[in-house]
Structure 1
């Protein structure tokens, strides 16, 4: 396949339809789509691959996005790309987030969920983001990394500030302005110092948390440097925290919008998993990812030159009519194909943990929050970008059942 900038230009499309799609892409990447980006994303997908520049390709169909994720000659291209690349390092992290290891965390997650619901029961309402979605992933990730629970609020503020730098959008198109990026850099510096100190303590005292295990990784006869270990710890906290929090609050929102599902989950706790998967499909926390072609590629008939930056609009791909007859309808029927956690070698290692936390919240929410309903007007979203998440979601209730209610077995 002959490819390059000149070939790309000939194949990138032109005319009113392509120019409209290019304008919509720039709107989406710039965050100018309001709280509902999906009409814009659907229109972009209908237009097919869109070349924003000769070296910047936007893909939005399920076939194109999956092909790009599974291609071996691509690499993550965002500033917050995962540093877990060496084989032994990846295996150590994989073990910490394996299905068995995550199952062992179920009792901890259950206790934390009950603690959070107890803390708001007297109030008679809850705010799903600050009361559930943020505290729970932070507590679980802190436990995995061996971080003091007393540091949770400090870490929360830095992790939130770090989010724009994790994936600020393609150069010149993203939503992260200079002020946000400056805040991200400051948070990154502070977190680097924090994790460097944590790693130093593990070197002295040892332990069985994830940081301690990473320290003991032997990468081809060489131990990881403290700086590398600290970098991995910072990445796992930053990347896992915001996305899991957005999944938790988004799943609660999905239940409130489809109240019949509340009764279904209450009667069949296993159905909570279907709700989570359908939330990942219909309203994914990570709306897009970036990959760079490290060789000339052919993606479903679209030639891509080496060095091209590809933006994969996962949120558009999930609503591809090729996958379902009514792709814009919330239907947690157990068949929710999505790429929210990537695919192939780019699959997210934290997926089992995110699913566990979200499922556990939904199961207990349906059991203990009686008569849940929207407390205020429309849910409030943060500014649009690669990471989509609620700013606040207030829920009124008729009351809160006690934590002595039995949990379903086997663990949800």
Structure 2
């Protein structure tokens, strides 16, 4: 979410007690890692951006700093200063609102709005020792559980799909909604515990409205400081791993219970919710868990933006796009990823419409069509806004390929 960002009216020098170190990230770019000893927070800046912050002096204005760095655009300098000021990295700075919108971007169409965000480091420290065995000694039993669920799904798959027709008249939502919410929080707890287990410390959780639908999220600010790539991939996929456990348990209980009993129907809905989350998060073209894992595997940040840029560079008159950077991924692979993104997005919209048409058919033709077109419309709107965001970043050069 892009909120109005406070920028200092009169700048000051960086605090002398900051712990500063330099490193090379997985893409070969030089970064500066700044640790605030007052609260333990860790911030990461590109090396060139931190060199700009080092130029600040007491009494200097934002215009003076921009004039000292003619190669950097003033809005980007303002945004950089705003980030450092909001983190409290300057000495005793009085904040005022940004004049004339400098240093921030206004977006009329947003995918999500942040309702609230809270630090959860204490919760992570308490839960990680309890959940750490799932990433260690219990991996083999969990794998056996998942294989058993897959085998039963292959055996009872037709009956499972046929039983989904009960959903339009499902009477047990009062008992099921708390379980669905608990399983959703269990998913986020998977990311949190994995990140804390592998050394991340700056974790925050919050609630957002994603296309007017409430959702929870966990943000790990220092996940990029985890040294091993496989551990960063594990953090990205930990929520899916926890969802798979929920699905396996609920599905096996559904198989063992009597048909159309209360437990049978509740387990059906809980397992369906877990399966939908698994499929949506593993979809590699949305900015969700599967996409983050793919970025880590490829070693490329903003993979989809770079792929869209590579595809748009093929269009006539696109020679003014920003030049490329070395990131280890062939341009042909980026173009193929962007093309698959467009095809998969269209297929997702059509599949969502067809699924809800079949699911809601028993509720009447009118309501079934409304639900089908509404769900497909939300998916289409999400994809359109994400693609528009990629194109905007491509043409403004914020993430050159």
TM-score, length of structure 2 as denominator length: 0.26
Higher relative contact order (CA 8 A, sep 6+): 1
Higher helix share: 2
The structure whose Rg is larger is 2
